Amino acid sequence: MNYTADIAIVGGGASGLVAAITAKRLNPNLSVYIFEALDRVGKKLITTGNGRCNITNLKLDLNRFHGQDVAFCQHALSRFGYEEIKNFFYSIGVDFIAEGDKVFPSSLQASSVVDALRFECERIGVNTVLNCKIEDIAFGKEYVLHSCNDTVYAKKLILATGLLSGGDKIGSFGNIFRFLKSSGFKTVKVSPSIVQLKTETDFVRQLKGIKVDAKATLFCGNKAVCEYTDEVLFCDYGLSGPAILQISRQSGRDDKEYFVSLDLYPETNIEELILKIKDRAKLLSIRTLEDFFVGSLNKRLGQVVLKYCGYKLSDSVMALNDDDLAKIANTLKNFKFKVLSNTGFLNSQVSAGGIATLEFSNTTLMSKRYKGLFVVGELLDIDGDCGGFNLSWAFASGMLAAESVVKQL
């Protein structure tokens, strides 16, 4: 089937849906089409925030974003920041609530956000074509797009396909990224981000299922790369939880050796903790090490920490000297695991890297090579921390590109 569009948008995710609505609102007379590879729009958006949709953040600071040129996203985020995003979603019936700086839809349902976007597209006349995976694009004054069954002729083109995160679960295969790369666009290495980390498993496997609040620090050699304090989940393969997801990005960007250090007592300095452990040893001297941490720390976690230190659980607390107690305290502040890899694109929330931003104008998101070609969202080499930053970039870039396209037309 053949389609003719003023604006063709490839990808019916967060940035594509918002771009389509913004463009159609600015000029209702334009024909706006979304071409989506899956059988429905917004499938990845439905999975965000564990189904609750962490839709944005109250503090969209530039230092929460990453890429070779982070300043590239500043214009979009200042032009379409938190208030603009809030007003946009309010206009389609989505109210916001905040948990700290994180912002969610009042329904706490990501599916309701997708529904609201879908309903607005239908209301204002955005055309959506499903099960249409674009395989080839001819660049020129007019853009010609081909799928296995369809041909699209478009005056302007917005690419909003995302990258590899989610894998087969959401049908995002990176085909547009590969096509642009083969067409000569400069790219930045793509790797999973906001992802679980695989570590040496001798000790984490014994702790499977335990959650603990801790400060997680990613080390490259002896240098601390980043840190975050939140919940950590021990898994049979390694580490997960918000703190781990937040620090995971750099571990997949190169071949260097990384370690994760967990501070299980982040509110207590080492001197205070040594005194605390010594006092505990005096009070509980008749116990064995098996029960030393009962009442203070998760029992199994305490036992594994002691085994990590090289002690037998059958030993008596009374047998520990001051050096032993200091060693235990230091381990509680630096429970360290070597990072082997991560759990891959299939389990990642976002992809780091993408099409190099130097190929595009930061004020319009238009290609410097082809007038009328725009790239938005995750496909560009911009990604954010966990906490609503990636969706904010998707929305802001989608709005900016749509505004730029309509001005051109």
Cα end-to-end distance, the chain, whole Å: 25
Compute the C-alpha angle 92/98/55, nearest 5°.
50
pLDDT in tens, the chain (409 residues): 999 999 999 999 999 999 999 999 999 999 999 999 999 999 999 988 889 999 999 999 999 999 999 999 999 999 999 999 999 999 999 999 999 999 999 999 999 999 999 999 999 999 999 999 998 999 988 999 999 889 999 999 999 999 988 765 444 457 899 999 999 999 999 999 999 999 999 999 999 999 999 999 999 999 999 999 999 999 999 999 999 999 999 998 999 999 999 999 999 999 999 999 999 999 999 999 999 999 999 999 999 999 999 999 999 999 999 999 999 999 999 999 999 999 999 999 999 999 999 999 999 999 999 999 999 999 999 999 999 999 999 999 999 999 999 999 9
| Residue 172: per-residue pLDDT | 47
From residue 57, how far is each of 82, 99, 130, 349 by CA, in Å? Answer: 7, 10, 31, 16
Going by the DSSP 8-state scheme, the letter that residue 320 receives in this structure is -
- The reported pLDDT for the residue numbered 148 is 83
**Residues 305, 323: Cα–Cα separation, whole Å:** 16
Maximum C-alpha span of the chain:
83
Check residue 167 and give its pLDDT: 61
**Helix-strand-coil percent breakdown of the chain, rounded to 5?**
40, 25, 35
Same fold: 194-266+336-342 with 270-332 = no
Per-residue model confidence as pLDDT tens digits over 320-330: 999 999 999 99
d(CA 329, CA 152): 65
Q: Is the dihedral of CA 21, 22, 27, 31 positive or negative?
A: negative
Question: For the stretch 23-55, what's the b/e string if a residue is b when 16 or more beta carbons lie within 10 angstroms of its beta carbon?
Answer: bbbeeeebbbbbbbbbeebbbbbbbbbeebbbb
Please count the CA atoms within 13 angstroms of the CA of 235 that sit on its side-chain side.
Answer: 15
405 HSE (CA, 13 A, CB side) = 34
Tell me how far apart the alpha carbons of residues 19 and 288 are, in angstroms, rounded to a whole number. Answer: 63
Helix H or strand E encompassing 66: strand 65-66
Q: Enter the pTM of the model.
A: 0.93
Domain 270-332: top CATH class: mainly alpha
From residue 328, alpha-carbon distances to 287, 303, 306 in Å are 16, 11, 7
Nearest CA to 384 out of 23, 170, 70, 24 is that of: 70
Place of tokens 């499903």: 130
**What per-residue confidence (pLDDT) applies to 173?**
53
Residue with tokens 């700086």: 101
Q: CB-based contacts of 32: which residues, under 8 Å, 6+ apart?
A: 5, 6, 7, 9, 20, 23, 24, 125, 126, 127
Q: What's the CATH number for 194-266+336-342?
A: 2.40.30.10
The fold for domain 2-192+348-408 equals FAD/NAD(P)-binding domain (3.50.50)
Distances (CA, A) of 277 to 324, 329, 362: 10, 7, 55
Where along the chain do its domains lie?
2-192+348-408, 194-266+336-342, 270-332
